Amino acid sequence: MNAARHILQTTFGYPDFRGNQAQIVETVAAGGNAMVLMPTGGGKSLCYQIPALLREGVAVVVSPLIALMDDQVAALRLAGVEAAAVHSGVPSEQLHQIADAVSAGRLKLLYVAPERAVSEKFLRFLDHHLISLFAIDEAHCVSQWGHDFRPEYRQLGLLAQRYPHIPRIALTATADSQTRADIKHYLHLQEAAEFTASFDRPNIHYQIVEKNNGKKQLLDFIQKQMRGQSGIVYCLSRKSVEDVAAFLRENGLNALPYHAGLPNETRTEHQRRFTREDHIIMVATVAFGMGIDKPDVRFVAHLDMPQSIEHFYQESGRAGRDGLPAHSWLCYGMNNLMLLRERIAQSGADETQKQIELQKLNAVFDVCETAGCRRVPLLRHFGEASEPCGNCDNCLNPPVRFDATESVRKLLSCVYRVGQSFAAGYVISVLRGKADDWIARNRHDTLSTFGIGADLSEKDWRSITRQCIGLGLLDSDPYHFHALRLTEAAKPVLKGSETVLLRPLKRAKAAVQTPRGDWLRTEREERLWQALRQWRIGRAKADNVPAYIVCGDRTLQDIVRRMPKQLSDLSEIYGLGAAKITQFGAEILAVCARFAAQQNDFEEMA
């Protein structure tokens, strides 16, 4: 294990293993099989990269996306590791060079797409070479259960039969039991050691707000809390992607759209700019995301409610992979919920499947509606028990519930009076005494509940209705215009034998979250930080790699903090291994020296 730690420190520049990385590395380096479930950003890559460096031969890494492979290879090379990717974009001349490097025993990691990994030609090539291990990244692609099913992944099971003595490690961030079972089955990993990391992402701050003007709320959030940061905004439809991206741009933000309806070149270009440049906001449908390895995404915003907790978790998990503070912000409204329910009801799925989908949606809704910690129900969903986190809106700013029994009874009885066959908007109009034609035609302006809710605004009633659905007092029928219906649980409330506590109808202004530059203590630090970022952009352009591959934000922070003066100081810096110090060390020291000199000037002036 000392050898593994030595590689971790000298090649990758990290002081210690995280979580169960050490055990995984040990298992695979010793020739064992492993199945690794680790959340996005948990540090899966090192789990096979270090064993690949410890063992003899070349490691074959199966990865589903070209962009992902290229980034990994670029990062490894910068760290001084011999790695290559073979895919359709690689010219044949280069393929020969790669083959030579494998034959000469120089290449340590070879990235391939699944279809190539199982092709007879490639396998025959492997037959003649020493393989250190097989790593199967994004292993959930074997499962139809997930959203990224790739049929070729199923055939990867043949590696087990053809190379029974070579260790195999499968890695994924998808944790549900069905997907797990599929991975074990199709990849023949029944006997493999299983490593599950906690799915908690403590650096992500969760904030969920009720929608009234979503775009405006989003703009506020970005301008007040996320200025100048990279982020992703997820929208439900292509149209709203276009609309929101244009709106953000009009307001001076660097936003780009991404959805399946855009031409291929535009999508590739936008994705490339997002990963390579700083401060871009990608406004996207869920088509965007898998394989986005950018570690310094500072926020993920959902402008609509996601359809399941898994989706929410995967999407929001793209923020803060570097472990630095990041935000997950979600804006939801009742119309949004109704639309999603309707989509499920009208989908071609069979009845059982529809019920499953509706339940999944309700689970998200519960997280949105809870007055308690957001993280507790999220983690419970992945089978983890936890305490309130202290890093979500409700923990930091607990909503004080009030006795809303009287209003709730008005609502419930109105639902009953209109025959449980009208949607929320209608019921609220009756409550508020709005005598429109439709209500008059139905003679609902003569009901005893007509106008008894005039004391509250439409928005207040929507909040009450939504909370009643959340509490299970009301149900809406997705097959029948979302008509509100009473549930069993509503009876004791209607009879007056139970009180109902609700969250405040108007949210107290959330305490403004600490903006990120907070760790910068002085103006000099701030200017050094900006100078280092400038340097990083220039370096990344020159080397034609994403900025974060040159070095991450955490590395730059560490430099600002420690103010290295000579090369030997750099080995202390987080994320700087020997190869990077050789390549960039002098440049980094030069940037620092400029500011150290200025500091002395200031001190003399003072």
In the complex with ligand ADP, which residue's Cβ is closer, 323 or 372?
Answer: 323
Q: Give DSSP secondary structure letters for 173-201.
A: S---HHHHHHHHHHTT-TTSEEEE-----
Part in contact with ligand ADP (CB under 6 A); list of ranges 41-49, 149-157, 257-265, 407-415:
41-49
Part in contact with ligand ADP (CB under 6 A); list of ranges 13-21, 140-148, 355-363, 411-419:
13-21
Distance CA 6, CA 223 (A): 43
109 near 52, Cβ under 8 Å? yes
- Which one of Zn ion, ligand ADP, none interacts with residue 154, CB within 5 to 8 A by kind? none
Distance CA 561, CA 529 (A): 10
- Which one of Zn ion, ligand ADP, none interacts with residue 395, CB within 5 to 8 A by kind? Zn ion
Q: Of 273-332, which residues contact ligand ADP (CB under 6 A)? A: 293, 295, 321-322
The answer to the question of residue 392 lying near Zn ion (CB under 5 A) is yes
The answer to the question of residue 46 lying near ligand ADP (CB under 6 A) is yes
Q: How far is the CB of 206 from Zn ion (least distance, A)?
A: 7
Segments of 211-287 assigned E as strands:
231-234, 255-258, 281-284
Read off the tokens for 498.
Answer: 């139970």
Part in contact with Zn ion (CB under 5 A); list of ranges 81-89, 142-150, 170-178, 368-376:
368-376
Q: Please count the helices (runs of H) and the strands (runs of E) in the chain.
A: 28, 17
Among 21, 132, 172, 229, binds ligand ADP (CB under 6 A): 21
Taking every pair of C-alpha atoms in the chain, what is the biggest distance, in angstroms? 90
Among 4, 7, 11, 17, binds ligand ADP (CB under 6 A): 17
The answer to the question of residue 270 lying near ligand ADP (CB under 6 A) is no
Read off the tokens for 23.
Answer: 């055990």
In the complex with ligand ADP, which residue's Cβ is closer, 379 or 484?
Answer: 379
Part in contact with ligand ADP (CB under 6 A); list of ranges 12-20, 86-94, 236-244, 439-447:
12-20
Part in contact with ligand ADP (CB under 6 A); list of ranges 35-43, 224-232, 511-519, 560-568:
35-43
Of 587, 605, 603, the closest CA to residue 522 belongs to 603
The answer for residues whose C-beta is within 8 angstroms of residue 304's C-beta and 6 or more apart is 234, 235, 236, 240, 331, 332, 336
Question: Inter-axis angle of helices 405-417 and 458-470, to 10 degrees?
Answer: 90
State the CB neighbour count (10 A cutoff) for residue 23. 15
Q: How far is the CB of 42 from Zn ion (least distance, A)?
A: 20
CA 477-483-489 angle, to 5 degrees, is: 70
- Which one of ligand ADP, Zn ion, none interacts with residue 17, CB within 5 to 8 A by kind? ligand ADP
The answer to the question of residue 45 lying near ligand ADP (CB under 6 A) is yes
Q: How far is the CB of 319 from Zn ion (least distance, A)?
A: 16
The answer to the question of residue 204 lying near Zn ion (CB under 5 A) is no
In the complex with ligand ADP, which residue's Cβ is closer, 230 or 429?
Answer: 230
- Which one of ligand ADP, Zn ion, none interacts with residue 143, CB within 5 to 8 A by kind? none
Distance CA 241, CA 234 (A): 8
DSSP-derived pairing of the beta strands 131-136 and 58-62: parallel
- Which one of Zn ion, ligand ADP, none interacts with residue 146, CB within 5 to 8 A by kind? none
- Which one of ligand ADP, Zn ion, none interacts with residue 377, CB within 5 to 8 A by kind? none
Q: Of 544-563, which residues contact ligand ADP (CB under 6 A)? A: 552
Read off the tokens for 474.
Answer: 């009301």
Part in contact with ligand ADP (CB under 6 A); list of ranges 44-52, 175-183, 188-196, 511-519:
44-52
Reduced to 3 states, what is the DSSP secondary structure of residue 434?
Answer: coil
424 near 465, Cβ under 8 Å? yes
Q: In what order do the strands lie in the sheet with 204-210?
A: 204-210, 326-332, 299-302, 231-234, 281-284, 255-258
Interface size with ligand ADP, residues (CB under 6 A)? 17
Q: How far is the CB of 396 from Zn ion (least distance, A)?
A: 8
The answer to the question of residue 43 lying near ligand ADP (CB under 6 A) is yes
Q: Give DSSP secondary structure letters for 496-550.
A: TS---EE--SSPPPPPPPPPGGGG--SHHHHHHHHHHHHHHHHHHHHHTS-HHHH
The answer to the question of residue 20 lying near ligand ADP (CB under 6 A) is no
Interface with ligand ADP by CB under 6 A: which residues? 14, 17-18, 21, 38, 40-46, 293, 295, 321-322, 552
Interface with Zn ion by CB under 5 A: which residues? 373, 375, 388-389, 392, 395
